[in-house]
Amino acid sequence: MGGDRAVTDERDAELDADLLVVGGGIAGLVSAWTAAEAGRRVTVLESAGHVGGPVAAHVLAGLEMDAGTESFATRGGRVEPLLAELGLADRVVEPNPVGAWVGYRYQGRFAASRLPRTGMLGIPGDLDEHGTAYGELVEAIGAEGARAARRDLTLPPTVGVDATDPGATTLGALVEARMGRAVIDRLVAPVAGGIYSGDPYEMPVESVAHGLLSALVEVGTLSDAVRHLQAQRAPGSAVRGLVGGMHMLTDRLRDRIVAAGGRILLHREVDGIERTAEGWRVRVAAVGDRPSSGSPMSPGVCDPGSQTCHTASQLVLATTADPALRLLELSEAGPWAHPAAVALVTLVVDDARLDVEPRGTGMLVTADAPDVQAKAMTHASAKWRWIADAAASGHPGRHVLRLSYGRAGQPSTMTDDELCAQAVRDVRVLTDVDIADRAVAATAVHRWLNVQPSARADEIRQRVDAAAANLGDLAVVGSWRSGTGLASVLPYAREQTLRLLGHPDRPRNGTSGASTADTTYEEVAK
């Protein structure tokens, strides 16, 4: 991002600090900001050439927009207070409430219907056959499928839950056992797959819908459990965004860290970490140099040349899961997740027929839907008023659409040009508007890596927590540890950093070390 000019990009700087943060994604930035605002000397080490990860910006056809994450969930009400602290409260905005659609195969052809608006991850939250929501459910999965879903109301709460290990219960197994296959195929698979790029039968419930199993036990049915969790979120939309884009969160965090005296070092790939009597020593190799293969660091030794050592009294690991496990010498506990490459194509299109928002704010697509390769589409200028106003300024009928490609086990192998051409073809099918090639004003492709937690996710988290507690003066943050989405990532990173600052401790068993090589698509339905 252009705003990263404020970030240090020196290749030979070293800085002792009170707190070292390994990873400059959004979790790492929150940790660094929290510590810097508390008066700590902070250094962030980021292997890439920019910070924020997928909470990033791009400019297309003169429009500055989000290149990745475009919204945050309102559940828990914990994101907006943080945004207010950063001076962004006046930019918080709700999306168009018109809702989204789902596309699927019906009698061999592509068909589409509205998504029921009372669901979570596609799970219906209202099965009252006399209500409006039930009518939407019938439209989406048919009368027979809706009747099957109502079995949930008569089943004991234990049905669908793994009897020997409830934590191993998968989303697919739970929903199919209680509501039937139609709910999976038409709703849960496209919604959950659109978010996590995975198969619901491989998604542990607690990893993708934390609290759902305990709510099921408490209230007795899955549909009631969904409503129970929804009632805990703030009034209004399930998601909100920022006027100007969510990337403003990255910009503001970066600026606050630097203003408070913090240091953000780009092109720093962590090669190893070592616990010392004074705190932590972190070995870094500039990107482009090959990090060592993982042998433990020799105490007190850092190789000269491209590698540098950074020391601090406390450490935050804010990397993705596998690098963190390698740094903690817990690689044998993994792999944490099954990565899925996701390509996000943004189109700027001049066609006034899209003014009527033919598919609401967007569409999720089942894997077997014919004539389409996209797994999801967001009609961004229909979803967000600020994008609509910016797009239409001087260009009446201009629209912005975002299409996502790449499902679990089926990464997109198309080139950027091929993806853009496919996206135009897909938009024609998804919107039922025959957009001309000449109407496409601009295109862009961004590629991100989504991860679907493995069935051993809870066990791995427990081992990481135990290792962190044993080492002391260490916090581990990030979506893999806190749960996905900004509503989980931001408060968790903040809480763990505050805990670290308020309760420093020393190694429990003398000096120990670890060393290894270091290395979201938003929910349309919300």
pLDDT, position 480: 87
> Residue 190 corresponds to which tokens in the numbers above?
């496209």
In 3D space, the residue among 191, 194, 195, 236 whose CA is nearest the CA of residue 96 turns out to be 236
Residue 467 domain-assigned (yes or no) = yes
Residue 104 domain-assigned (yes or no) = no
Q: How many residues does the chain have?
A: 526
Residue 386 domain-assigned (yes or no) = yes
Residues 253 and 272 in one domain: yes
pLDDT, position 287: 56
One digit per residue, pLDDT tens: the chain, 526 residues? 444 434 544 443 444 899 999 999 999 999 999 999 999 999 999 999 999 999 999 999 999 999 999 999 887 789 999 999 999 999 999 999 999 999 999 899 999 998 887 788 999 999 999 988 899 899 999 999 999 999 999 999 999 999 888 888 999 999 999 999 999 999 999 888 777 767 899 888 987 888 999 999 999 999 999 999 888 766 667 899 999 999 999 999 999 999 999 999 999 999 999 999 899 999 997 555 433 333 333 333 344 344 588 999 999 999 998 899 999 998 776 666 666 688 999 999 999 999 999 999 999 998 899 999 999 999 999 999 999 999 999 999 999 999 999 876 676 789 999 999 999 999 999 999 999 999 999 999 999 876 666 667 778 888 999 999 999 999 999 988 888 889 999 999 999 999 999 944 433 333 333 222 222 233 444 4
The SS3 call for residue 176 is: helix
pLDDT, position 37: 96
Question: How far apart, in whole angstroms, are the C-alpha atoms of residue 159 and residue 180?
Answer: 12
Q: Find the domain containing 283 and state its range.
A: 2-53+247-336+455-515
Residues 130 and 226 in one domain: yes
Residue 84 domain-assigned (yes or no) = no
Question: How far apart, in whole angstroms, are the C-alpha atoms of residue 266 and residue 11?
Answer: 8
The SS3 call for residue 14 is: coil
Question: How far apart, in whole angstroms, are the C-alpha atoms of residue 512 and residue 281?
Answer: 11
**Phi and psi dihedrals of 60, rounded to 5?**
-140, 125
pLDDT, position 518: 20
Residues 393 and 446 in one domain: yes
Residue ranges of the alpha helices (H) in 198-317?
205-208, 212-219, 222-230, 247-259
Residues 403 and 474 in one domain: no
Residues 14 and 122 in one domain: no
What is the SS3 assignment for 242-267? ECCCCHHHHHHHHHHHHHCCCEEECC
- Which CATH number characterizes residue 269's domain? 3.50.50.60
Residue 95 domain-assigned (yes or no) = no
Residue 83 domain-assigned (yes or no) = no
Our count of domains for the chain comes to 3
Number of C-beta neighbours around residue 95 at 10 A: 23
Residues 407 and 463 in one domain: no
pLDDT, position 304: 39
pLDDT, position 184: 95
In 3D space, the residue among 437, 73, 32 whose CA is nearest the CA of residue 254 turns out to be 32
Residue 235 domain-assigned (yes or no) = no
Residues 292 and 434 in one domain: no
- Which CATH number characterizes residue 164's domain? 1.10.3110.10
pLDDT, position 153: 97
pLDDT, position 4: 44
pLDDT, position 457: 74
pLDDT, position 454: 64
Extended beta strands in 46-159, E state: 57-60, 63-66, 72-73, 92-93, 101-106, 109-114
- Which CATH number characterizes residue 409's domain? 3.90.660.20
Residues 376 and 345 in one domain: yes
Residues 346 and 268 in one domain: no
Question: How far apart, in whole angstroms, are the C-alpha atoms of residue 185 and residue 188?
Answer: 7
Residue 76 domain-assigned (yes or no) = no
